[in-house]
Chains A and B, each alone.
Chain A
Amino acid sequence: MKKNSKAMFVLLSTLILSLLLAACGSNESVNSGDSGKKKTKLDFVWFSDGVEGEVMKEIIADYEAENSHVDIELIEVAYSDLPTKLKTMISGGKPPALARISTSEIGAFSSQAVDLAEKLGGVDGFTSQFLDSIKPYYVVDNKVVASPMDVTANGIMYNKTLFDQAGVEVPQSSDDIWTWDEFNEALKTVLNKSDAQYGLVWDFTPHRWSTLLYQLGGSMMNSDGTAATINNEAGVKAVDYFKKMHDEGVIPTSVWLGGENPNNLFRTGKTAAHLSGNWMISNYKDITDFEWGVTYMPIGTNRSSVPGGKFVMAFQKSGVEEEAANFISYLSSKEVNSKFNEKSLFMSPRKDSADLNYEFGKEMFALFADELNNTVPAAAEDWSKQDIVPKFSTDLKEGLSDVIADGKTSQQMLDEIAELINEAIEDTK
């Protein structure tokens, strides 16, 4: 009996040990990529906001049909887990071949990226095919660290049903765009004369707030990135106006103070407008309770949106850099890129694919493209400095909430952020 139970312990512990070891071991065999007779395996870390994952699977199937020696495996992660996942893989010495990456991560990983310039026809040859505004994101130290897949623009979605009910007409062309005061008044009218309960919901990110900053002529840093400019007169104005709209009840405090999801508020049909970005078109596509549309963002001293996008990056030391670069070259071709964006309801970063044949919301995409064409250079210059932005963006987000909650004055808050920016600039030298 004693012997039996002892044997069982030994058995059990061996089992657990071997399971643990197997878990560690399996990783190695996946990544060792013995490229003899077998196919070359490319791990592609991916995240999806909408249907683009399915579209990518189709594109991969096409590519594999043409290139039978390549096997691309899509590793899908939640966007929020992406940086951690990539960091773990890279610092563990097993980087993936490829990853989809957004503007917020591109800077942090650029030192680990394969320089694609040579493969894609030189820095100038490659970049000239894409919108100039996003160039600072993917060209770092004259290296092409990633290839643009889609481009994003901030903009305004509005509830047409509520605007009609209140008898307010949105600007019909870029000639009669509202000023911010006119827009604010229009929202108040909609709040008073319709069933609207909320005026404008504004995504709870400093990136979306910065749209107002650029429209009022401000910026976070000077163009060569050597000093903070966020606390100048334009910056203070942008925070003051943002607070004023909260104080007047046009923007509900439940988003920036209560953490409520603005998408949910817009979907209730009781919200007049939502300041977000073009990716919301595919999200709101299924709304049937009310009519909605996209309208021009108001003008301050000038018009501006904030460009962003998603990219594909190939990593050094994956052992399959060559094959990964080939696949990226395939993805960035006009034909494949257009297919990806058309089916995913995204905007193409390629200059020659601006006019895609979307099956939904074609005129809305045209409007977002117009916003992007009227964007100040400062927007991409600021947000592409991803070695500096993460050092203050959380504080900026909290700082804006603090101003809304009367914790600090706009100038006080921005002076503190400017100090953080300058410290971060100092650290990178």
Chain B
Amino acid sequence: MSTESIAAHPQPVNKRKRKLQLAPYLFVLPNLLIFTVFIVIPTILGAVYSFHEYDGLNPMTFIGIENYAEIFTDVKFWQTLGKTATYAIIVVPLIYICALGIAILLVQQIVLKGFFRAIFYWPTMISFIIVGLTWRWIFGELGIINGVLEAVGKDSVSFLSDPFFAKLTVIIAAVWSRLGFFMVIFVAGLLAIPKDYYEAAHLDGASKLRAFFHITLPLLKPTTLLVVMLTTIEAFKAYPLMFALTGGGPNKATTYIVQYIYETGFAKQELGLASAMSIVLFVIITIFTVLQFKLTKGGEN
């Protein structure tokens, strides 16, 4: 549209406009450079690798779509992807509900509001590795919980050796560490809803619950879309937390897709195959995101 309007204008204005348009590009230049060097180029390289047999060291040999064919018959890959999906199905709603719930509580006029917001936000500033270690010190064999159990004369429990408890620990740690970030987004979303709607609803005799379901939730649709999309992508990419907390165990119970790809690439030295897996994961996440976007009409009301 902008090019059309420029073309319609006489020459001098056109020149002036062009000059002015340089600024925005300069604005994005630093980020664009970093994005190109660290995201775009590696992605293209990854796509190239995916059609080759490559160990990262010796010359690549082109093998066409053999890597992709191998993935489609690799039961472990799809099992791991299924496990990751299950994890996402549990973690995404949990983070959504907890973040929204806490955001609603913390937009009320309460004492020490800033303090509580900070407490929930702080964990998001800690790296996943530290979060993992921290929860390991709580649930681990030598962790605080077992220390307390022993102190009161009970037998210690090997939480992280039990698939169910290990998964639970990972979920708790993930929710704890990400909750604050999405709470802040919800707080912004909630504050953007005009107060008048609630006053009108109150005058009409609507209950708080009704107001929530008929005013808050619909008006939070764009925020909801953003949060669900981000948490879903995050859940599919989860690895550093499990790496530090469970190492993917017990017996692969918490080994999700990124760890599986990592192990294929770096432990088994099959970088070509691992690249193909990354591309498959990339396509799946893209389809999912586009679908979500379409279904919610881009989050517009």
Residues of A within 8 A of B (CB): 5-6, 9-10, 12-13, 16-17, 20, 83-84, 87, 90-91, 108-109, 111-112, 197, 252-254, 257-260, 264-265, 268, 390-391, 393-394, 398, 401-402, 404-405, 407
Contact = CB atoms under 8 A, between A and B. Distances in A.
B141 A252 contact: yes
A258 B33 contact: no
If over half of B's interface residues share one DSSP class (helix, strand or loop), that class is named, otherwise mixed; here it is: loop
Q: Which of A5, A83, A109 has the most CB of B within 10 A?
A: A83
Nearest to A8: B26
A91 B57 contact: yes
Interface stretch (B172-180, B248-256, B286-294): B248-256
21 contacts: A9-B26, A87-B57, A90-B57, A91-B57, A108-B55, A111-B58, A252-B158, A253-B161, A253-B250, A254-B158, A257-B162, A258-B161, A258-B246, A258-B249, A259-B249, A259-B250, A394-B268, A401-B252, A405-B250, A405-B251, A407-B251
A5 B251 contact: no
Interface of B: 22-23, 26-27, 29-30, 33, 37, 55-58, 140-142, 156, 158-163, 166, 246-252, 263, 266-269
Contacts of A268: 142
A320 B187 CA distance: 61
Q: Which of B23, B55, B161, B267 has the most CB of A within 10 A?
A: B161
Nearest to B265: A84
A259 B26 contact: no
Contacts of A12: 26, 30
Closest 9 CB pairs of A and B: A257-B250, A258-B161, A259-B247, A9-B26, A258-B160, A257-B161, A254-B141, A401-B251, A405-B251
Contacts of B163: 405
If over half of A's interface residues share one DSSP class (helix, strand or loop), that class is named, otherwise mixed; here it is: helix
A23 to B, nearest CB: 10
A268 B29 CA distance: 54
Contacts of B162: 257
A253 B156 CA distance: 13
Contact of B30 (A13, A84, A112, A252): A13
Given A13-B26, A16-B33, A108-B269, A257 B58 contact: no
Given A254-B161, A257-B251, A258-B161, A83 B266 contact: yes
